[in-house]
Amino acid sequence: MSFIDLSRAEWLELLIALAIFGVGFSIAFVARGLVRTVVSRITRSNESHLNELLARALRPPLTFLFLLVAVAVAVRSISFLEGELETPQRIWLALTLLMVVIAVQRTISAILTWLSVRPTTSPDARLNSQSLPLVRRGVNFSILLIGGLIMLDAVGVQISPLLAGLGIGGLAVALALQPLLANVFASSYMLSDASVRVGDLIEIAGGPVGTVEDIGWRATRIMNFDNNMVMIPNSRLADATITNYSSSDSFSDARVDIGVAYEEDLERVEAVCRDVLTALRDAHEVAVKDADPVMRFTGFGESNIEIMMKLRAITWTDSFALRHELIKRIHARFLAEGITVNYPTRRLFLQAEDASALTRSAPDT
């Protein structure tokens, strides 16, 4: 159809359609400016940050959605285009569904962002910011996948074979990427459980000790005390026994195990040990002043009476300095007091025939 062949009435319809589109265009940009006010009314929330995030997320798709509605109304007002709108209608429906999907995706992403940074008195009540990228990617992928399938079905594309193909392909990919997926799921578990966080000082049974620098999709990076970065697969970390020194208060015990000879007066030994512990607690800057020192006899060893001594340090790393100083002071005090710490010894009992054989085999002197 040529525009030259249009009648006067058809030209009038065309001008009316352009006017409708112009009005719709104006309404779209007016609505763009009112999105934040409407969002505040709908959510009934005083959280200005949340309202701003939602308004920023909804402005682009809603503006384009208003324009699509204006185009649809304008085109339907043109009578001479009837019978030629089947393909444009399919395109319009696909674009409309696309805008709805994008609006949903951006809204959920904005809510997740707000949940990770919202002010709250309980840190556990907010979404872990370290898990936000993983959660956001998973949600975005799910929404876009479902939205894409709905769009294809709406425009007349049969999605049943596609779903079957996706199922078989997904199974093959899952089998091929099983180690990687195990690490991904382990990282999502650790982030959601919050048992290990970035900045925590941890010790892995049979593994390194250090500060968690990053929890990635595949591996967790730990900076050890040699200033080296250790990368541990998340699946192994999730199955390991971990001591988290940052999970409660920062205090940690400096423990020293020692032994004294069986001949020593244990009352005197106890008094000397408690004197050293109390003096060190009061003098050392990393010792917790209001924590009582601990001294206990713990057992009968092979060569000594075993003793356990503990002082409370301000942090786990401070406990090394406190233990160092405690060993020095106990050693010096035992020497000054004449308290004996035996070397490991053995008492051998020989049968008579063994003793005579030993005598015969000894060289003559």
Give the pLDDT of residue 213: 85
Give the pLDDT of residue 295: 93
Residues 90 and 171 in one domain: yes
How many domains, the chain?
A: 3
Residues 232 and 304 in one domain: no
Residues 192 and 172 in one domain: no
Largest CA distance in the chain: 140
Give the pLDDT of residue 226: 81
Residues 43 and 144 in one domain: yes
Does residue 363 fall inside a structural domain? no
Residues 188 and 237 in one domain: yes
Does residue 343 fall inside a structural domain? no
Check residues 38 and 175 and name the one with the higher pLDDT: 38
Q: Which residue has the tokens 């009352």?
A: 267
Does residue 364 fall inside a structural domain? no
Residues 148 and 283 in one domain: no
The residue type of 245 is Y
Check residues 222 and 78 and name the one with the higher pLDDT: 222
Contact call for residues 233 and 190 (beta carbons, < 8 A) = no
Check: pTM over 0.75? Answer yes or no.
Answer: no
How many whole angstroms separate alpha carbon 148 and alpha carbon 102? 11
Query: Quick one: pLDDT band at residue 26, thresholds 50, 70, 90?
Result: confident
**Structural Rg of the chain based on CA atoms:** 38
pLDDT of 197 over the 50 cut:
yes
| Last-in-domain residue among 176, 194, 220 | 176
Show the domain range for 34: 3-176
Residues 316 and 191 in one domain: no
Residues 15 and 160 in one domain: yes
Integer angstrom CA distances of residue 94 from 58, 152, 318, 348 = 19, 8, 64, 92
Task: Write down the mean pLDDT value for the chain.
Answer: 77
pLDDT of 162 over the 50 cut:
yes
How many whole angstroms separate alpha carbon 273 and alpha carbon 294? 10
pLDDT of 148 over the 50 cut:
yes
Give the pLDDT of residue 355: 60
Give the mean model confidence (pLDDT) for residues 32-54. 69
Residues 277 and 319 in one domain: yes
Give the pLDDT of residue 125: 47
pLDDT of 168 over the 60 cut:
no
pLDDT of 270 over the 90 cut:
yes
Residues 140 and 277 in one domain: no
How many whole angstroms separate alpha carbon 281 and alpha carbon 311? 7
Residues 145 and 187 in one domain: no
Check residues 10 and 128 and name the one with the higher pLDDT: 10
